[in-house]
Homo-oligomer: A and B are copies of this chain.
Amino acid sequence: MIQNKPAEVGMSIQDVDTPALIIDLDAFEHNLNLMSKSVANLGIAHRPHAKTHKSPVIARKQIAVGAVGQCCQKVSEAEVLVAGGVDDVLISNQVVGSQKLERLAGLACQARIGVCVDNQENVEAVNVAASKFGCQINVLVEIDIGAGRCGVAPGMPAVKLAETIEKMSNLKFGGLQAYQGRAQHIRGFSERKIAIEKASKYVLKTIEFLKKAGINCPLVTGGGTGTYQFEAGTGVWDEIQAGSYCFMDADYGLNLTENGDYFNTFRNSLFVLSTIMSAPTKDRAVLDAGHKASAIDSGLPRVVDLPDVEFVGASDEHGTLALGRNAPAVSLGQKIKLIPGHCDPTVNLHDWYVGVRENVVEAMWPVAARGATF
């Protein structure tokens, strides 16, 4: 179930077998360094989300330029990160069921592990597992600040959970998880900013209620690539969880900045390299990359550097290009670079990152937590 490597170090990018997941190492390093400076300037900690990259290699690079640790969504991702040398992992998500909770507690014997809760019984279940393993787990209360997914309502429901956590033998109240997922892809700059300012009031309210109950809130964490500057600007958050910034994707490129430009502060560093495998008509070419190579839940991939060539449709193993009037001639076997519509689920389709610099393969990194869904 481990598939062949699509490339070897030293190869030209022209010889990489396709479809392959390419990292432009210059652009990737640019993004890491830029974010490092950005969060330093903003005076906020950064805990990048490993749900994007699923790679301890990338996690360690992020930590090397200042990140305080990693967050992820699943215990199986945390297992891969800890095994790969990351010693501070927050699961920014609920973990339910004794099998998963025992794996979580086992990990907490090896590394600093945090987890989020939004349910009283679940707090007790986390403690049962932590007690069995004699470890301590940081438990954050997730509040729903507008995403409408998980999390308790801000205010008293969060206080009640924090009180329960504080009563538990092997748990420590770690603060608030406050992520406004829906705001990340709001296109307009001021609309996005307003969504976070609104969200910040829910967080402040909860901190006040905690204070009234005599509970100190040690940390507020959340925020993504689309909004992290706003979270930092409110002064309410201590830590941001931006993950996509290291790769960027076609969808984030449609967000607008303060000046009305497209959001391209971070460069596209992640590509799906594909090959033209059929060119049956003058206005159509077919790529060897479809749903199983590039996720389309946030839109189709975008073709790089070919004017008037558009990726117009995908099936399982095929991508269809429409060749417009001004399109350059294309040929069978030609390699085409695509910017995925959405990085995270695209990465999860591949076993290997092919790291490329100046058209030469410099690194092969496994997508070590690919398929780590439980």
Contact = CB atoms under 8 A, between A and B. Distances in A.
A367 B119 CA distance: 35
Nearest to A121: B332
Interface string A131-160: 000000000000010001111110000000
B297 A296 contact: yes
A371 B349 contact: yes
A207 interface: no
Residue of A181, A318, A320 with most partner-chain B CB within 10 A: A318
Given A4-B76, A280-B118, A332-B96, A286 B149 contact: yes
A333 B99 CA distance: 11
B278 A315 contact: no
A171 B205 CA distance: 74
A220 interface: no
Interface in A313-358: 314-318, 320, 332-333, 342, 344-345, 348-351
Contacts of A297: 291, 296-297, 314
Contacts of A76: 3-4
A54 to B, nearest CB: 10
B149 A318 contact: yes
Nearest to A51: B316
Given A332-B122, A345-B316, A293 B373 contact: yes
A185 to B, nearest CB: 11
A250 to B, nearest CB: 16
B344 A316 contact: yes
A215 interface: no
Given A292-B373, A297-B291, A316-B51, A275 B1 contact: no
Contact of A288 (B96, B122, B153, B333): B96
A291 B370 contact: no
Given A97-B275, A351-B371, 5 more contacts: A93-B277, A95-B277, A150-B318, A291-B342, A297-B297
29 contacts: A1-B368, A1-B370, A3-B76, A3-B371, A3-B372, A3-B373, A3-B374, A4-B374, A15-B99, A19-B374, A94-B277, A95-B277, A96-B277, A96-B332, A118-B278, A119-B278, A122-B332, A148-B284, A149-B278, A150-B277, A150-B286, A150-B318, A152-B280, A153-B280, A291-B295, A291-B297, A291-B342, A349-B349, A370-B371
